[in-house]
Amino acid sequence: MAYLVGVLVIVVGLAISIALHEIGHLVPAKKFGVRVTQYMIGFGPTLFSRRRGETEYGVKAIPLGGYIRMIGMFPPPEPDEPTRRRPKTTSVWSSMANDARQAAAQEVVPGEEHRAFYRLSVPKKLAIMFGGPFMNLILAVVILAVVISGIGLPGVSTTVASVSECVITSSQERAECGADDPAAPAFAAGVQPGDVLVSLAGEELNTWEEFSDRIRTTPAQPTELVVERDGELHTLSITPMVIPREVYDADGNIQRDAAGEPITEDVGFAGITSQTELQRQSPLEVPVLVGDALVRTGQVVLTLPQRMVDISKAAFGSGERDPEGPVGVVGVGRFAGEIAAVDLEGYGMVERVADLLGILASLNLALFVFNMIPLLPLDGGHIAGALWEGLRRTIARVRRRPDPGPVDVAKAMPVAYGVFLVVAVMSVLLIYADIVKPITLSG
Q: What is the mean pLDDT of residues 145-173?
A: 83
| Residue 259 C-alpha from the chain's centroid | 43
Please give the Cα distance from 258 to 253 (Å, whole number). Answer: 16
Contacts of 110 (CB under 8 A, 6+ apart): none
Contacts of 391 (CB under 8 A, 6+ apart): none
Residue 431: pLDDT over 50: yes
Residue 84: pLDDT over 60: no
Please give the Cα distance from 133 to 297 (Å, whole number). Answer: 14
Which has the minimum average pLDDT: 105-114, 239-248, 391-400? 239-248
Q: Judge residue 260's burial from the number of C-beta atoms within 10 Å of its C-beta, 0-12 exposed, 13-18 middle, 19 or more buried.
A: exposed
Please give the Cα distance from 151 to 354 (Å, whole number). Answer: 7
Query: Which of 242, 191, 246, 189 is closest to 218 using CA atoms?
Result: 242
Which has the minimum average pLDDT: 115-119, 165-169, 192-196, 292-296? 165-169
Q: What is the mean pLDDT of residues 399-410?
A: 90
Using alpha carbons only, what angle is made at residue 77 by residues 22 and 388, rounded to the nearest 5 degrees? Answer: 55
- CA dihedral (227, 228, 230, 236) in degrees, to 10, reads 30
Q: Is residue 70 part of a domain?
A: no
Please give the Cα distance from 224 to 235 (Å, whole number). Answer: 7
Which has the minimum average pLDDT: 175-179, 223-227, 235-239? 175-179
Q: Is 41 helix (H, G, I), strand (E, B) or coil?
A: strand
pLDDT at 174: 61
Using alpha carbons only, what angle is made at residue 186 by residues 181 and 191, rounded to the nearest 5 degrees? Answer: 130
Q: Is residue 165 part of a domain?
A: yes
Contact (Cβ atoms closer than 8 angstroms) between residue 63 and residue 42: yes
pLDDT at 105: 84
Q: Is residue 206 part of a domain?
A: yes
pLDDT at 390: 94
The neighbour count for residue 410, using CB atoms within 10 Å, is 25
Q: Is residue 77 part of a domain?
A: no
Contacts of 106 (CB under 8 A, 6+ apart): none
Residue 338 bears catalytic tag: no
pLDDT at 175: 66
pLDDT at 319: 78
pLDDT at 295: 93
Residue 370: pLDDT over 50: yes
Q: Domain residues for 171?
A: 155-279
Q: Who wins on pLDDT, 244 or 292? A: 292
pLDDT in tens, 58-73: 999 887 789 999 999 9
Q: How many structural domains does the chain have? A: 1
For the chain, what percent of residues have pLDDT higher than 90?
A: 49
Q: Who wins on pLDDT, 89 or 328? A: 328
Q: Is residue 129 part of a domain?
A: no
CATH number at residue 177: 2.30.42.10
Q: pLDDT band for position 83 (50/70/90)?
A: very low
Please give the Cα distance from 176 to 167 (Å, whole number). Answer: 10
Q: What is the mean pLDDT of residues 8-28?
A: 94
Residue 179: pLDDT over 50: yes
Q: pLDDT band for position 216 (50/70/90)?
A: confident
The neighbour count for residue 230, using CB atoms within 10 Å, is 8
Q: Is residue 197 part of a domain?
A: yes
Q: Is residue 431 part of a domain?
A: no
Check 22, 81, 261, 389 and give the catalytic one. Answer: 22
Query: Which of 355, 367, 370 is closest to 143 using CA atoms?
Result: 355
Average pLDDT over the chain reads 87
Please give the Cα distance from 145 to 229 (Å, whole number). Answer: 33
pLDDT in tens, 238-277: 998 887 777 777 766 778 877 777 777 777 888 898 988 8
Residue 158: pLDDT over 80: yes
Residue 93: pLDDT over 70: yes
Q: Is residue 217 part of a domain?
A: yes
Contact (Cβ atoms closer than 8 angstroms) between residue 125 and residue 382: yes
Strand locations in 71-186, DSSP E? 153-163
pLDDT at 382: 94
